Structure 1
Amino acid sequence: MAQFLDDISVTDYQKTSIIEARKNRVIENLTTAFPATSDLPFSRAVLMGSAAKGTIIRPIDDVDVLAVFSNVNNAWSKYQYDSQSFLYRIRKAYDGLSTAQVGARGQAVRIFFQSGGHVDVAPVFSHGNDVYGLPKGDGGWINTSPTVANSWFTKRHAELGYNLSPLVRLLKKWNGAHSKRLRSFHLETMAAHVFSTLGSNRQSGLTSFFEWAPNHIDVSDPGGQSGSLSGYLSWTARQEVIQSFRTAADRAAKARAAEADGDHEEAKRLWRIILGSTFPN
């Protein structure tokens, strides 16, 4: 399990050559397109999502960047009732590159790289107190506090002996191997809620999560803005998620029993079903 976890975790080189490099590319592009003299000056970029939490897994697919724009020239008043024009203007800055409008409500700009993978740039205005206005997709805005959510996760990671992020990386492999029914942010937040204590035994942590997770599906946005994170699940999808947890819990318990009996081949077989075909057999 330790080798598998190492294999799916990003290296220090990838953190700088891919993740930080792509964030810096966003900063360069937006600083050029929206300088301090612009009516819509770019302020700063903040790494968000899995890359910021240390839960991103290989191969690196997407990197999330929060792009904060300044209201120093009263730009907010221009776009207050028309977030679509704001988003389109940011996307236009990437003319000539392969882009797409993405997100649950079409509130981000996705920039694709020829080398593979992409960056999702979420352009926002700061409303103060770590609350940001994000385009809603219908011309309106939604409030979001991703930096607050990130800080909360970082605190939970420390409280759990720095064992939370590694476990979440394994859970993402499970999720990806079984229809990817759960959104990444939802899964991360569930894992942070499930445990009061968490050791470094990954097999034990996974088994406990699968057993307890059905009671923690309805977690709230730790940023305090989006309410319940399970709202995207239909009744049918919710039942499928619960059944997936139960099936994984059963297999994980059997894998641990097999390992205790010295049947390492059977244990590996079961973990491979749980965590996907890249798990060593």
Structure 2
Amino acid sequence: MGIDEAFDEHQGTVDEDIEKTKLARERRDLFKKALLGQQDILETIGSGSLSRSTQLKPIHDVDVIAVYDQDQHPQWGSDGPSAEEALEHIRDQVNDLLGKSSGTYANEVRYTLLRNHAVKCFLDEKDDPEAFTVDVMPVLRQADGTLLIPERLSRRWGPANPEYLIDEVAAHQRDWRYFRPLVRVLKQWRLTVPVEGGVKSLVMEVLALNCMPRSGNRSQALKTFFTAAAVRVNEGVHDPADLCGEIQPDLDRAGLSAAFSDAAELADRACAAAAEGNTDDALRLWQKIFGDTFPAPAAQPKPASLISGAPTLITPRPIKDAPQG
């Protein structure tokens, strides 16, 4: 098996099934269409990793943004109770439109839960460990194109620009067809590294955006990424639109940097082995980085040492009685 074929096979273990991805998009689009029919909503936007095509399987949730007409909600956007009021408003609209028993548009939502920025809408039973949810968030669009999003806990509205990240990921993908697939690979890899407190999915995506090249083969690109990310992560990983600050303030930077450095060293050796024609050794090194789902031949056992000359005859030692104790 060649290097490219091995990466293709590993990618297949990371990517979600096409039909399940299609279903997730259909559920997201159902919410977008239903909400767009409301008089106070100007537009609806798909957000999150599914809209960037960087989603990691299994897909349990999708994100929808509803842009409201501030002329119809003049009190929104100000500090105070309006943040929670906006969330309650969109929850009422979702239940009226898509409630399981009496939705006027469809009957999909079993119950809803108010979160800090959005309303989580459950489409499956509460005790289902793989319950699918749609997070809907009310926002106000500003003159500069950014969005004001509600923060229920702080009773404030804050700026954000999720569309910026969507556009940046799409641009990187246009330049290099392996970008989105490798983002998914790296998101899966992060789950296996010994980093205290874990690593948020978005951290890996933004690091990939900053550190992944826009050309070349996957092996060299990953080598470049791991090497650059080992340094870059020490600066903290921030919102690429420069509006929301650090993505994971409590990130174990030292631990993640060390994991990147270890992976960079293995990737460097893998690239060197491939360049020398030692494909099997290269595959085994990539498997050390990505785990058993990355295909590689088993290591060959070392041959036994050859003994030259005639075998030496060993005379058995005579057995003697000895006192026991």
How far apart in 2 are the matches of 1:252 and 1:79? 48
How far apart in 2 are the matches of 1:189 and 1:79? 28
Residue 123 of structure 1: aligned partner: 138
How far apart in 2 are the matches of 1:178 and 1:100? 32
User: For residue 29 of structure 2, what is the amino acid of its counterpart?
Assistant: N
Residue 222 of structure 1: aligned partner: 240
Identity of aligned residues (%): 25
How far apart in 2 are the matches of 1:196 and 1:248? 17
Residue 177 of structure 1: aligned partner: 192
How far apart in 1 are the matches of 2:74 and 2:287? 51
How far apart in 1 are the matches of 2:74 and 2:190? 39
Say whether 1:62 aligns with 2:80: no
How far apart in 1 are the matches of 2:194 and 2:44? 32
SS class of match (1:158): helix
Residue 29 of structure 2: aligned partner: 24
Structure 1 position 16, deviation (Å): 3.2
The unaligned stretches of length 5 or more in structure 2 are 1-6, 100-108, 125-129, 297-325
Distance 1:117 1:72, change over 3 A: same
How far apart in 1 are the matches of 2:264 and 2:244? 29
What is the TM-score when the length of structure 1 is the normalising length? 0.79
Distance 1:195 1:28, change over 3 A: closer
1:77 to 66, 70, 75: 75
User: For residue 90 of structure 1, what is the amino acid of its counterpart?
Assistant: I
Structure 1 position 176, deviation (Å): 2.2
User: For residue 3 of structure 1, what is the amino acid of its counterpart?
Assistant: E
Q: How many residues align?
A: 264
Structure 1 position 242, deviation (Å): 0.8
User: For residue 183 of structure 1, what is the amino acid of its counterpart?
Assistant: K
1:148 to 149, 164, 167: 164
1:213 to 229, 232, 235: 229
SS class of match (1:167): helix
Distance 1:63 1:275, change over 3 A: farther
Structure 1 position 4, deviation (Å): 1.8
Query: Once the two structures are superposed, what CA deviation does each residue of 1:191-222 show, in whole Å capped at 9, x if it has no partner?
Result: 122145432x2222222211110222235433
SS class of match (1:128): coil
RMSD: 2.9
Structure 1 position 134, deviation (Å): 0.6
The unaligned stretches of length 5 or more in structure 1 are none
Tell which deviates more after alignment, 121-130 or 3-12. Answer: 3-12
Query: Once the two structures are superposed, what CA deviation does each residue of 1:22-65 show, in whole Å capped at 9, x if it has no partner?
Result: 21222255357xx21xxxx2332211222122211332233222
Say whether 1:275 aligns with 2:275: no
SS class of match (2:226): helix
Distance 1:113 1:250, change over 3 A: farther
Structure with more of its chain in helix, by fraction: 1
Distance 1:25 1:2, change over 3 A: same
SS class of match (2:245): coil
SS class of match (1:177): coil
